[in-house]
Amino acid sequence: MATAAKKQRTKPQYELLYHPGIPGRGEFIRLALEAAGVAYNDPANEKKEGYDIVRSSCDPTSTGDEDGNPPVFCPPALRVHGEGKNGKTLLIHQTPNILLYLGPKIGMAPEDDEVVKLHINQLTLTALDLTNEAHDTHHPVGVKLYYEDQKEESLRKAEDFRESRMPKFFGFFERVLKGNKEGNGKYLVGDKLTYADTTLWQTVDG
């Protein structure tokens, strides 16, 4: 992996398409790449006109691109030149889908162990469910509405989140850590860092 990472530092293969200036869901992808030491481009944070690339990739009128990729619903998305259909550009979205793709390629999931891959993916999906539920405490009525316009509902939602959902999620991840003897309480799956760990870390930190 070190050689691959070195090669990519000259010309990054991966392009993360996300909103500028905020960690958001883009951070789950960034963390996995950073932990693996794999270089990537993040155009919206690199140059002023970079966000145009993100916006055009997620064009709300698109029916798909000329490389055979279906439309992207919203960021984060990942673009990989030469890895799509017939050697064209691959453009994928949905955070866990991007991680599922990247994991084995960057050493953050095994390449050939289907069972372990599924375990990593299910824990990642669960951590992302927790992220979504945390997000919903501020937007229980509508994603487009400001927090201030749904404060009352937010307070109710937050109470349930704190008292029922958080303990359930954290209790679950404690059990996973306890049950994974190989991980010595440090890793969720196996005896090394995977993208399930970086995702859970960001969920808790974020």
Question: At its nearest, how many Å lie between ligand GSH and the CB of residue 90?
Answer: 16
Angle of CA points 62, 133, 150, to nearest 5°: 85
Does residue 121 interact with ligand GSH by CB under 6 A? Answer: no
The string of DSSP codes covering 110-132 is -SS-HHHHHHHHHHHHHHHHHHH
Question: At its nearest, how many Å lie between ligand GSH and the CB of residue 148?
Answer: 20
Q: Which is nearer to ligand GSH, 95 or 194 (CB)?
A: 95
Could you say which of 94, 122, 150, 180 contacts ligand GSH (CB under 6 A)? 94
Does residue 157 interact with ligand GSH by CB under 6 A? Answer: no
Site string for ligand GSH, 49-88 (x = CB under 6 A): -------------------------xxx------------
Could you say which of 13, 14, 17, 25 contacts ligand GSH (CB under 6 A)? 25
Measure CA 142 to chain center: 22
Question: At its nearest, how many Å lie between ligand GSH and the CB of residue 104?
Answer: 19
Count of C-beta atoms within a 10 Å radius of residue 32: 28
- C-alpha dist (Å) from residue 19 to 22, 39, 137, 158, 169: 7, 19, 22, 26, 28
197 contact partners, CB below 8 Å, separation of at least 6: 187, 188, 189
Question: At its nearest, how many Å lie between ligand GSH and the CB of residue 159?
Answer: 24
* Ramachandran angles phi, psi of 16, nearest 5°: -90, 125
**What's the rounded Cα separation, in Å, for the pair 87 and 78?**
16
Does residue 95 interact with ligand GSH by CB under 6 A? Answer: yes
- Can you give the binding site for ligand GSH, defined by CB under 6 A? 24-25, 74-76, 94-95
